[in-house]
Amino acid sequence: MTTQCLHCSQDIPPSQGGEFCCHGCEAAYHLVRGLGLEGYYARRCVDPAQRPLRPEDGGAPIDYGTHVHEDEGGIQGLNLMVEGLHCAACVWLIESILSRQPGVVTARVNMTTRRLVLKWRKGEAEADALVGAVNGVGYRLVPFDPGVMDRENARQEKELLRAMAVAGFVAGNVMLFSVSVWAGHVSGMGQATRDLMHWLSALITLPAIAYAGRPFFHSALAALRHLRTNMDVPISVGVLLTAGMSLWETVRGGPHAYFDSAIMLLFFLLIGRYLDRRARGRARASAEHLLTLSALAVTVIDEEGRRHMLPPARVKAGMTVLAVAGDRIGVDGTVIAGRSDIDTSLISGETLPQPVEAGSRVFAGTLNLSGPLTLRVDAVGEGTLLAEIVRLMEAAEQGRAKYVALADRVARFYAPVVHLLALCTFLAWVFGGGMAWQEALLIAAAVLIITCPCALALAVPVVQVVASGRLLRQGILVKSGSALERLARTDTVVFDKTGTLTLGRAEPIALDGLPPDDLRLATAMAGASRHPLARALVKAMPGVPVAAGVEEIPGRGLRLGDVRLGSRAWIGAPEAAGEIEGPELWLHRPGTAPLRIAFCDPLRSDAAATVAALKAAGCRVALLSGDRAPVVEAAAREAGIEDWRAAMAPADKCKVLDDLRAEGRNVLMVGDGLNDAPALAAADVSLSPSTAVDVSQTAADAIFQGQRLGSVAEVVAVARLADRLVKQNFAMAFVYNVVTVPMAMAGLVTPLIAAAAMSGSSLLVIVNALRLGRRRA
Amino acid sequence: MDSLLILIPAALFLGLVGLVAFLWALRSGQFEDLDGSAHRILFDDDKPLPPPGN
C-alpha cells in the first residue's frame, strides 16, 4: 500500500514513510499552508500525464532581473510562461500566492496561453523573490518576451476578427432583405418595394465591403504589383465587380442584385482567413530565446583582482572571468584555474558531466556544476559556439521556408483559370449572344462569385484547426498549419536520444544486488553533492539522512574521512569485463574492494512501442545522438532501431538530414537539446518534448507534453488523417464547381441559387472537417 | 407596408447593437483567455480580482 505525497501526489515508497516524497514537497506544502491557501489541495485535479508539481532543486538558475520591463509610474512588470499548470486550481494558487506578496499590483495567469503577467511597484518587491515563491511550490516560471512578431500577429488576428464581425452582421441583415425580395419574385412584390430593399441592401453592404474586404484588397494589390496573381485577386475582382454591377442594377431598377452574395463570400472567406491565422500559431523568434540563455551577467575579474558584474555584451576576449558552481557559463573560454564538472548537455547532448581542469575549453551555455572556475575569455556573443549553432539553425530554417502550402499551390492554378472563364463568358455573351455589355458583365461576375473560393478557402484551415484542437487535447501543440501538411508526408523519423527517446535523467540500476550498508553510506555522502549522479542516487534511496563533514573534490568525487565516492579513475578501480557500459559511481572504503553503482538513462516507457507503431505506419526510423557509441547502441537496441549513429555534432546531424532529404525522403526530427535545434530546423518537420530547452522548442513545429513518446506516432496519424480530409474537401469543392460553373456561364444563376450553393458547399466542407474531431485514431 | 418602416430600422438597430457589443468585448480583452474565465467564477477569494491585463 503506497501513500501519496500530500503535495505532488506522487507515490511515496513504503520504505520511506511520512507524508511527503521529498524535502522540496514538504517545504512547498508548508508554504501553501502558511499562506492559508490549503484549499488548493482539495480543489485541484492532477493530470498524471503532466509534470508532477515537485519543486526542482537545481536546474539552471534563471536571472529574472534581466527580463523586467518598466512602465511609467514606477510599475515594473514581467511576462512569464508557466510550466506545470494542471487545472484552474493552479491558476488560483499562483495568483493568490503572488497577490499576497507585498508590492504586487497584478498577477494574472492566462489559462489558454499558460502565460503569467506580473506587475509590482518598483522598490517594494524583487523579481527573483516573487518568482521564487511560485517556483518553490513546484511550478516552473520561464521568462518569456512577447516579441514584436507576436504582437503584430495578435494585432492582425484582432483586425480579422473585427472584419469578420462586421461582415457577419451585414451578411445576416442583407439576407433579411434578400429573402424578402426572393419571396417577392414569387408573390409579386411591387417594383417600388423591391427597389427600396435593394437600396437598403446597398446602403449597408457597400461600407461593409469597404471595411471587411481590406485584407483581401491589400494582398491582391500587392500580388498584382509584382505581376503575380493569388487567391485574393479573383476574390477582390469578384466582390468589387459584383457590388458595382449590383449597384448599377439597383439604380436601373433591375430585378436581381447580388449584394448578399458579395458580402457572404467575404464573410466565409474571413472565417477561413481567421482560422488560418489561428492555426499558424506563434511566430518564431529564435534569437530572442537564445539571448535568454546568455543574458546572464558575467563576473569579470580585473587586473587588481576586483570583481565586476558585466552584461555579456561588454565582455571582451582576453578578459578573466569567474564562474562559480551552479552558474551557466556565458562565454567560450579556457580554464586557467580551478577544477569542476561541466554539464554540456545543452551543447553536445552528452548526459554525463565532463570533468574540466586548467587548460580545458568550456563553451557558453554550459553549466558549471561543482567548483569555481577562472576562465580566460576566448569568444563572446556572436563568436561563441552557441551563436554558431543559432546561425546553423537560421540557415536551415531558410531552407525550410521554401515549402509551399497546398492551398497556395491550388490557388496558383485556380486564379488564372477562373479569370479566364469569366472573361470567356463575358466575350461570348457580348459577341456571340449579342447581349448588352452590362448584362454580360453581370453574368461574368456571377461566374466569379459562384466558382466559390469560399469552399476552397475553408477546405484547409478548418481541417487544420480541428486537427490542432484534437492534438491539443492530447497535450500536443502544433505551431503552424503547414506543419500538419508536412507531417502528413513524413516517411522517415529521426530521433535524438537523450531527453527524447530517454527521459534525460540518470537512474541507478540493480541497487538490490549491492550491500545495503554500503549503499546507505554512499547515499548519505551523495546527499552533500549537486552532481546529477549523486542526486539520482539520493532520489532512488529516499529517507537516508545526509552525512556531515563530506568534502567535495570538484572533478573527482566526494570524501568523508577515508571513504571516497566518485569516478573510477579517482578510486583507482580496475577495469572489469562484462560490465554494462554507462555512467557509474564508485564507493571505496579502506580495506574493502571498491563497489560499483551503475546508472542508466531509462528509455521512455513506450519508446519501443512507438518505434514499432511508426514502422507499422511505413516510416523508416533512425537515431542520431551526440552521446558515446556504446550508450547509443544500447538505447537503439532496446527501442528496436537498427539505424543509429553516435557522437554527432550539430553540424553532422544537419548533414545527415540533408543527405536524407537529397534522397527525396521527408524527414521528421524529434529532439530536445540546443544541439538538436539546427537539426530540428533542417528537417522537413520537427517535434520537441515540452521538457526541451527554449531554443529547440522555438525551432520545432510541434511540442508534446508528458512522459509518453506515443505522441509522435499520434501526430503522424492525425496529420495523415487531416491530409485525407483536406483532399476530400478539395475534391468536393471541385465537383461543386464542375456543376455550378456551367450554370453560371449560361446565365442561369440567380442571387437565390448563388446564395444557396455558396452556403451549402461551405457547410459541407466544414462538416467534413469536423469528423476529424470526433474520430479516435 | 407601414410596418416595414418601423421593422427595418428596428432590425438594423438591434443587429448594430450586437455588433458594437462584440467589438467592445474584443477590445476589452474578453477573448484573451477563454478557458480561464470559465473557471475564474468559481474562485472564492475574499479579495477583489485584479483587473484584466492586456
- In sequence order, what are the residues at sequence separation of 6 or more whose Cβ sits closer than 8 angstroms to the Cβ of residue A557? A564, A565, A566, A567, A570, A571, A585, A586
Determine the residue among B7, B8, B42 to mutate to test chain A binding: the one whose Cβ has the most chain A Cβ atoms within 10 Å. B8
pLDDT at A494: 92
**B chain contacts of residue A200, beta-carbon cutoff 8 Å:** 8
Instruction: Give the closest of A105, A165, A200 to B19, CB-based.
Output: A165
**What are the start-end ranges of the H helices in A646-710?**
650-662, 677-682, 694-699
Query: Cβ(A153)–Cβ(A283) under 8 Å?
Result: yes
**A chain contacts of residue B23, beta-carbon cutoff 8 Å:** 162, 165
Catalytic residue among A327, A496, A676, A694: A496
Structure-block grid coordinates of residue A202: 446597398
Residue A295 has pLDDT above 90, yes or no: no
Query: Cβ(A351)–Cβ(A498) under 8 Å?
Result: yes
pLDDT at A306: 78
Determine the residue of chain A that is closest to B26 in CA distance: A158
- Rounded to the nearest angstrom, the minimum Cα separation between B39 and chain A is 6
pLDDT at A166: 93
Least confident of A58-67, A114-123, A235-244: A58-67
Query: Cβ(A61)–Cβ(A42) under 8 Å?
Result: no
Q: How confident is the model at residue A593 (pLDDT cuts 50, 70, 90)?
A: confident
Torsions phi, psi of A613, nearest 5? -65, -40
Q: pLDDT tens for residues A594-625?
A: 888 888 888 888 889 999 999 999 999 999 88
**A chain contacts of residue B26, beta-carbon cutoff 8 Å:** 158, 161-162, 165
End-to-end CA distance of chain B: 49
Do B8 and A200 make contact, defined as CB atoms within 8 angstroms?
yes
d(CA A269, CA A284): 26
pLDDT at A100: 85
Sign of CA dihedral A528, A530, A531, A537: positive
Determine the residue of chain A that is closest to B15 in CA distance: A169
**What are the start-end ranges of the H helices in A100-147?**
127-137
Query: Cβ(A94)–Cβ(A86) under 8 Å?
Result: no
Cβ of residue A592 closer than 8 Å to a chain B Cβ = no
Phi-psi region of B43 (alpha: psi -120 to 50; beta: other; left: phi over 0): beta
3-class SS of residue A159? helix
Q: pLDDT tens for residues A263-281?
A: 988 998 898 888 877 765 5
3-class SS of residue A551? strand
Residue A85 identity: L
pLDDT at A16: 65
Instruction: Give the closest of B4, B11, B33 to A110, CB-based.
Output: B33
pTM reported for the whole predicted model: 0.71
Cβ of residue A15 closer than 8 Å to a chain B Cβ = no
- Rounded to the nearest angstrom, the minimum Cα separation between A623 and chain B is 39
Instruction: Give the closest of A99, A111, A172 to B35, CB-based.
Output: A111
Do B36 and A162 make contact, defined as CB atoms within 8 angstroms?
no
Do A173 and B32 make contact, defined as CB atoms within 8 angstroms?
no
Number of H helices, E strands in chain B: 2, 0
Do B53 and A119 make contact, defined as CB atoms within 8 angstroms?
yes
Query: Cβ(A701)–Cβ(A478) under 8 Å?
Result: yes
Query: DSSP assignment of A464-482, as one string?
Result: HHHHHHHHHHTTEEE--HH
Q: What mean pLDDT is predicted for residues A524-539?
A: 80
Radius of gyration of chain B from Cα atoms?
18
Do B32 and A107 make contact, defined as CB atoms within 8 angstroms?
no
d(CA A419, CA B45): 62
Q: pLDDT tens for residues B5-50?
A: 888 888 889 989 999 999 999 888 887 777 777 777 777 655 544 5
**B chain contacts of residue A176, beta-carbon cutoff 8 Å:** 11
**A chain contacts of residue B42, beta-carbon cutoff 8 Å:** 88
pLDDT at A612: 93
Place of cell 485577386: A233
Distances (CA, A) of A473 to A359, A449, A469, A671, A705: 51, 37, 6, 22, 11
d(CA A501, CA A601): 10
pLDDT at B44: 65
Determine the residue among B23, B24, B30 to mutate to test chain A binding: the one whose Cβ has the most chain A Cβ atoms within 10 Å. B23
Cβ of residue B29 closer than 8 Å to a chain A Cβ = no
Q: pLDDT tens for residues A109-151?
A: 887 667 788 888 888 888 888 888 888 888 877 766 555 556 6
pLDDT at A524: 86
At CB < 8 A and 24+ separation, what contacts does A646-652 make? A648/A624, A649/A348, A649/A675, A650/A389, A650/A392, A650/A626, A650/A675, A650/A676, A650/A677, A650/A678, A650/A679, A651/A392, A651/A678, A652/A624
d(CA A749, CA A759): 15
Q: pLDDT tens for residues A84-118?
A: 777 788 888 888 888 888 888 888 888 766 778 88
Q: How confident is the model at residue A668 (pLDDT cuts 50, 70, 90)?
A: very high
At CB < 8 A and 24+ separation, what contacts does A179-187 make? A181/A257, A181/A751, A182/A751, A182/A752, A185/A255
Do A92 and B43 make contact, defined as CB atoms within 8 angstroms?
yes
Instruction: Give the closest of A96, A169, A193 to B15, CB-based.
Output: A169
Determine the residue among A91, A178, A189 to mutate to test chain B binding: the one whose Cβ has the most chain B Cβ atoms within 10 Å. A91
Q: What mean pLDDT is predicted for residues A463-476?
A: 81
Instruction: Give the closest of A113, A166, A204 to B12, CB-based.
Output: A204
d(CA A374, CA A70): 35
The average confidence (pLDDT) of chain A is: 80
Residue A202 has pLDDT above 90, yes or no: yes
Residue A348 has pLDDT above 80, yes or no: no
**B chain contacts of residue A165, beta-carbon cutoff 8 Å:** 19, 22-23, 26
Cβ of residue A191 closer than 8 Å to a chain B Cβ = no
**B chain contacts of residue A99, beta-carbon cutoff 8 Å:** 47, 50
- Rounded to the nearest angstrom, the minimum Cα separation between B48 and chain A is 11
Do A106 and B16 make contact, defined as CB atoms within 8 angstroms?
no
**B chain contacts of residue A96, beta-carbon cutoff 8 Å:** 45
d(CA A21, CA A130): 25
Cβ of residue B51 closer than 8 Å to a chain A Cβ = yes
- Rounded to the nearest angstrom, the minimum Cα separation between A725 and chain B is 28
Angle made by CA atoms A268, A270, A275, in degrees to the nearest 5: 100
Cβ of residue B48 closer than 8 Å to a chain A Cβ = no
pLDDT at A162: 92
Do B36 and A91 make contact, defined as CB atoms within 8 angstroms?
yes
Least confident of A301-315, A423-437, A646-660, A714-728: A301-315
Cβ of residue A183 closer than 8 Å to a chain B Cβ = no
- Rounded to the nearest angstrom, the minimum Cα separation between B10 and chain A is 11
Do A117 and B53 make contact, defined as CB atoms within 8 angstroms?
yes
Instruction: Give the closest of A88, A117, A165 to B22, CB-based.
Output: A165
**pLDDT > 90 in chain A, percent:** 10
Of A52-56, A286-290, A716-720, give the range with the top mean pLDDT. A716-720
d(CA A674, CA A74): 37
Structure-block grid coordinates of residue B29: 480583452
Q: How confident is the model at residue A413 (pLDDT cuts 50, 70, 90)?
A: confident
Q: What mean pLDDT is predicted for residues A39-60?
A: 65
Do A111 and B39 make contact, defined as CB atoms within 8 angstroms?
yes
**Pairing between β-strand A551-553 and β-strand A507-508 as defined by DSSP bridges:** unpaired
Determine the residue of chain A that is closest to B51 in CA distance: A106
Residue B33 identity: D
Q: Catalytic: A723?
A: no
pLDDT at A288: 46
Q: Which residue has the higher pLDDT, A703 or A767?
A: A767
- Which letter, b or e, does each residue of A116-146 get, where b requires 16 or more Cβ atoms within 10 Å of its Cβ? bbbbbeeeebbbeebbeebbebbbbbbbbeb
Residue A125 gets which letter from DSSP?
B
Cβ of residue B21 closer than 8 Å to a chain A Cβ = no
Query: DSSP assignment of A180-228, as one string?
Result: HHHHHHHHT--HHHHHHHHHHHHHHHHHHHHHHTHHHHHHHHHHHHTT-
Query: Cβ(A301)–Cβ(A374) under 8 Å?
Result: yes
- Rounded to the nearest angstrom, the minimum Cα separation between A439 and chain B is 30
Least confident of A3-17, A320-334, A699-713: A3-17
Cβ of residue B41 closer than 8 Å to a chain A Cβ = no
d(CA A415, CA A209): 21
Distances (CA, A) of A549 to A554, A560, A566: 16, 6, 16
d(CA A464, CA A600): 40
Q: pLDDT tens for residues A470-523?
A: 887 777 878 777 788 889 989 999 998 877 888 777 788 877 778 888 888 888
